[in-house]
Amino acid sequence: MKQRAFFVLVCVLSLFLLFSGPLSAKEIKTLSQFPMSGPVGSLPEFGWGFIDGMNWVNNEGGGVNGKKIKWFLEDFRYDPTVEVATFNKYCAEHTPDEFLMATGYITGGLKPLIDKVNKEEKIPWLDGSYSTEIFGDDGGPSKYPYYYSLGATYGAQLKILLKWIKENDKGKGNPKVALVYSPTAWGRDGIPEAKAYAKKKGIDIVAEIEYPYSATSATSECMEIRKAKAQYVIYHGYSGASGCTAIFFKTAKQVLKDVQLTGTHYTTGRMPILVCQDAYDGYVGVATRPFVDAVPRAKTPMDNPMVKMAHEFAKKNRSSEYQKGIQEKDAIKDMFLYMEGLTYALMLQKVLTDADKAGDLSREGVKKALDKMVWDFNGMFGGKKFSYKSHTIPMLQIFKAKVNMVDVEGKKVPTGAVVPITDWINVDEVKW
Partner 1 sequence: MVDFTQALGAGTLVGLVYALLGLSIVIIYRASEAFNFAIGEFLVIGSFLFYIFFFDLRIPLLVALPLGLLAAGLVGALVERFAIKPLLGRSPLSMTIITLGLGFFLRGCVQLIFGSHSYSFFLELPDITQEFGDLLFLSDPIWAGILSLSTFGLILFLLFRTRWGLAIRATSENQAKAMAFGIDARFILLIVWAISSACIAVAGIMISNFGALSSMSSIVGLRAIPVVLIGGMDSIVGALVGGIIVGVCESLAGAYIEPMGLVGFKEVAPYLLLLIVLLIRPYGLFGQIRIERV
Binding-site member from 29, 176, 270, 333 for partner 1 (CB under 8 A):
333
Binding-site member from 30, 32, 58, 277 for partner 1 (CB under 8 A):
277
Binding-site member from 69, 194, 274, 398 for partner 1 (CB under 8 A):
274
Backbone angles phi, psi at 39, to 5 degrees: -70, -25
Length in residues, the chain = 432
Based on the shown chain and the rule CB under 8 A, indicate whether residue 41 belongs to the binding site for partner 1.
Answer: yes
Binding-site member from 103, 107, 251, 397 for partner 1 (CB under 8 A):
251
Based on the shown chain and the rule CB under 8 A, indicate whether residue 332 belongs to the binding site for partner 1.
Answer: no
Residues in contact with partner 1, counted by CB under 8 A, come to a total of 46
Based on the shown chain and the rule CB under 8 A, indicate whether residue 192 belongs to the binding site for partner 1.
Answer: no
Based on the shown chain and the rule CB under 8 A, indicate whether residue 224 belongs to the binding site for partner 1.
Answer: yes
CB of 344 to partner 1, least distance (A): 21
Which residues in 266-300 are b (16+ Cβ under 10 Å) and which e?
bbbbbbbbbbbbbbbbebbbbbbbbbbbbbebeeb
The stretch among 18-26, 145-153, 275-283, 422-430 that binds partner 1 (CB under 8 A) is: 275-283
Site for partner 1 in 93-152 (CB under 8 A): none
| Run of H or E including 209 | strand 204-210
DSSP state of 270: H
Collapsing DSSP states into helix, strand and coil, what is residue 397?
strand
| Run of H or E including 32 | strand 28-34
Kindly provide the residue ranges of all beta strands, DSSP E only, lying in 89-194, ordered along the sequence.
99-104, 125-127, 147-149, 176-181
Contact mark string toward partner 1, 353..382, x via CB under 8 A: ------------------------------
Closest C-alpha among 399, 391, 390 to residue 430? 390
Based on the shown chain and the rule CB under 8 A, indicate whether residue 27 belongs to the binding site for partner 1.
Answer: no
DSSP state of 379: T
> Which residues of this protein are in contact with partner 1, per CB under 8 A?
38-42, 183, 207-210, 212-214, 216-217, 219-221, 223-224, 227, 241-248, 250-251, 254-255, 271, 274-277, 327, 329, 333, 409-412, 414
